[in-house]
Amino acid sequence: MLALLQYLVLGLLVGGIYALAASGLTLVFGVMRIINIAHGAFLILGAFLAFTAWSKLGIDPMLAILLIAPISFSLGWVIYKTAIAPVRTAPMASTVLLTFGLALVVEATMGVIWGNNATSMTPSYGSESFSAGSFYVPKAQVYGGLVAVAVLAVLGLILTRTWLGRAIRAAANNPTGAELVGIRVGSVSAVVFGLGMAAACTGGAIVGVLYSFVPGTHYMWIARLLAIVVLGGLGSLNGAILGAVLFGLAETLTSAYVSTAWATAFPYLIVFAVLLLRPQGLLGVRRREDASAL
């Protein structure tokens, strides 16, 4: 019983961090209908930025988020204006290709700046735990989980309690209608892309404390994050959070009770099964254009 509790806690903490990492991906899709394949590369960029802050400036990686978030938001805004905006309304295949190319450019840039050797951050709490008997909770996961919840809460407040949030939701639900009532959907999209990149880089700073990384690690992350947002329902922030927690729990419980060999594959089987029953994902909304595409 204690072992089950241990695994559930480990799975929930991992899921929380996955949720933060996936939130930007689903947000960008929700507003722009763009599947941003570069999102995993942004995540690893966040890890490298945190590494630089930690190794060169002595700033704790979790605190470095306060620097990384505005920097990455600005970078996201610039990337949107220069690379994404011209193809925002192009067919989805074009934007997928474009963002895949962007991922390769970011990967190569990271390789040039930081090299292709595995990078790790080892703050003192990285190998410590809160423990009671044989039950333990790693400090890094707890801090990372708390930061993830805090950032997601801020993101939630922005979306639900501010004029910007209302504009984002309006642009996501009905871009033409939003334009008609005076919302500049292009500008909103730039802000959303910036927020998405900030969320990815913030998640990356936490991920970098938990796991070692190289520029090429983004392939593994984008596969996992896409599965999470599809499971939760593309475009739904709450869906991404639910999908992430389920994914984290599935990984952990599969490793614990089935086999570690299946730990990374089994969660995808759950995604397939859910999509067979509910193609729009757990909290996704089936739109008119989705139905007409069938």
Partner 1 sequence: MNGRIGRRLAGILASAGLLLGGVACGSDDGGGSDPIKIGASIPLTGQFSQEGTAAKQGYEVWAATVNENGGLLGRQVELVIKDDASNQNTVVADYNALISKDKVDLLIGTYSSLLNLPASAVAEKNNMLYIEPAGGAPEIFERGMKYLFFSQQATADKQGKAFADWISTLPEADRPKTAAYPTIDDPFVSPNVEGIRSVLEGAGITTVFAETYQSDLNNFDTLVSKVREANPDLVVHGAFFDDGVGFVRSMLKANFKPRWLYQTTAPSLGEEYAKAIGPENTEGIIFAISHAPQAQTPGNAEFVKKYEEMFGGLPPEDAADAYGAAQVLQAAVEAVGDVKDQAAMADWLRQNTVPTILGDLKWDEAGRPQGEFLTGQWQDGKVEYILPKQFATTDHVVMGWQPGSV
Q: Which 3-state string (H, E, C) describes the chain?
A: CHHHHHHHHHHHHHHHHHHHHHHHHHHHHHHHCCCCCCHHHHHHHHHHHHHHHHHHHCCCCCCCHHHHHHHHHHHHHHHHHHHHHHHCCCCHHHHHHHHHHHHHHHHHHHHHHHCCCCECCCCHHHHCEEEECCEEEEHHHHHHHHHHHHHHHHHHHHHHHCHHHHHHHHHHHCHHHHHHCCCCHHHHHHHHHHHHHHHHHHHHHHHHHHCCECHHHHHHHHHHHHHHHHHHCCCCHHHHHHHHHHHHHHHHHHHHHCCHHHCCCHHHHHHHHHHHHCCCCCCCCCCHHHHHHC
Q: How far apart are CA 124 and CA 121, in angstroms?
A: 10
In one letter, which amino acid is 33? Answer: R
Instruction: State the nearest-atom distance from the C-beta of 39 to partner 1, in Å.
Output: 17
Query: Which residue lies nearer to partner 1 by CB, 126 or 156?
Result: 126
For tokens 């934007």, name the residue: 95
Cβ 18 to partner 1, closest distance in Å?
10
Q: How far is the CB of 263 from partner 1 (least distance, A)?
A: 6
CB-nearer residue toward partner 1: 74 or 116: 116
Q: Which is nearer to partner 1, 66 or 112 (CB)?
A: 112
Least Å from the CB of residue 119 to partner 1:
9
Give 100 or 136: the residue with its C-beta nearer to partner 1: 136
The nearest distance, CB 114 to partner 1, in angstroms, is 12
Considering the complex, state which of residue 211 and residue 272 has its C-beta at the smaller distance from partner 1: 211
Q: How far is the CB of 40 from partner 1 (least distance, A)?
A: 13
Q: Which residues bind partner 1 (CB under 8 A)?
A: 3, 6-7, 10-11, 14, 107, 111, 115-118, 120, 122, 126-129, 131, 134, 136, 138-141, 210-212, 214-216, 220, 251-252, 255-256, 259-261, 263-265
Nearest approach in angstroms of CB 233 to partner 1 is 24
List b or e across 51-76, with b for residues whose CB sees 16 or more CB atoms inside 10 angstroms. Answer: bebbeeeebbbbebbeebbeebbebb
Closer CB to partner 1, 85 or 256, in the complex: 256
Q: Which is nearer to partner 1, 94 or 127 (CB)?
A: 127
Rounded to a whole number of angstroms, the minimum distance from the CB of residue 129 to partner 1 is 5
